[in-house]
A and B are shown apart, each in its own frame.
Chain A
Amino acid sequence: MTRVFVGVLVSAIAVAAWFASTRFADASHTTSTAQGLAAWEQIYSVLTHPRCINCHTATNYPQQGDERRRHVANVVRGPEGKGVPGLNCAGCHQETNADSTGVPGGHNWHLAPLSMRWQDMHDQAFSSAEVCRALTDRSKNNNLDGPGILKHNEEESLVKWAWNPGRRPDGSARTLPPLTHEEFVAATRRWVDAGMPCPSGKGVVVWPLFD
């Protein structure tokens, strides 16, 4: 009985939040909020793919591999996300992939800042709502607006690396994100066009009214 009541309450709040976001959407956007949210889910699926999220950690280390294990050799974040003098990211990760040794490479290889972490301290990916909130928070995202994010997704070399991630030491190709880069950029464009709506979800407070 109590659970049913709470469930209804949650649903009501969720519907209200969605309604509110639709209500406050700028009517001049050609992409609807619903389409924008759908585009966001596509973006989220890329961001949480190992090729991206492995460097968007909450800890002082990056991850590697599809199983997202802690990076070999105890490399650490360092003050600027570029490692430390004895273990500098760019020391091993060159400008391009080194397929003969299985080490990925890209220009200015480094960790995303902690403000752009997309997982928690236990290496669990944040929810779609949490990542969206972080990405659109200009105090966290290097002060990027929608067009800035679109440009980042389209042109930033380390972003593009995810679609050309090179070969593992055993010669096999690293897995790619679920969208192509073009699809990813297109989804970003749609999402920005829709006003960068974020889903609600975790973060809605459910009062323990009973029990």
Chain B
Amino acid sequence: MATFRLTVNGERREVNVDPSTPLLWVLREDLKLTGTKFGCGISACGACTVHVGGVATRSCIVPISHIGDRPIVTIEAMAVDPVGRAVQDAWVAEDVVQCGYCQSGQIMSAVALLKSTPRPTEQNIEESMGGNLCRCGTYPRIRAAIKNASAQLPKGGA
């Protein structure tokens, strides 16, 4: 067990956990932030996607010992992020979700894409979203929602 000081969604948090614990489980069980989901545990599905140091990261395979002082941002903070909010609003406007379990990860990946590429092409979308699994198959509506969100963003990005 070791103590780790983290910055999660802008707040300083402290946890005492086994250093090998993936960030996903620290978020879900120690910090009670269950918005980030467990889907596979081998980075194949993207349900666990968060942003670490501004980079889309699959939290199921990053041990807490590897985080350091990089800020962590989860789905719970997207509503107060301009790009995050635009994406959530687009997701709702386009009625994207079905079971919804993959959508935290989908949104985090989409936000990462739009922050870097505010006007993504079809190929940009396919590549950045290409590793997020949706068993229900909401992919066509995800595409539409990303384009919708993109249209809401100021030209230079937010």
Contacts and interface: CB of A to CB of B under 8 A. Distances in A.
B130 A74 contact: yes
Interface stretch (B6-14, B74-82, B121-129): B121-129
B124 A84 contact: yes
B63 A74 contact: no
B127 A87 contact: yes
A186 to B, nearest CB: 33
- Do most interface residues of chain A lie in helix, strand or loop, or is the interface mixed? loop
Chain B's interface size range is 20 to 34
B22 A85 contact: no
Contacts of B152: none
Nearest to A78: B127
A74 B115 CA distance: 21
A75 to B, nearest CB: 6
A85 B131 contact: no
Contact of A85 (B62, B128, B132): B128
B62 A73 contact: no
Interface string B73-105: 000000000000000000000000000000000
Interface in B15-72: 20-22, 41-46, 52, 55-58, 60-63, 66
A86 B131 CA distance: 8
Contact of B130 (A87, A92, A95): A87
B109 interface: yes
5 nearest CB pairs, A to B:
A86-B128, A73-B131, A100-B20, A85-B116, A86-B109
Given A73-B43, A87-B127, A91-B58, A96 B113 contact: no
Contacts of A147: none
Contacts of A92: 43, 57-58, 61-62
A72 B43 contact: yes
Contacts of B132: 86
Interface stretch (A4-12, A101-109, A128-136): A101-109
A86, A92, A95, A102 — most chain B CB neighbours (10 Å): A86
A88 interface: yes
A101 B61 contact: yes
A76 to B, nearest CB: 5
Interface centre among B22, B41, B128, B129 (most CB of A within 10 A): B128
A74 B123 CA distance: 13
B22 A100 contact: yes
B110 interface: yes
Contacts of A100: 20-22, 63
Contacts of A99: 20
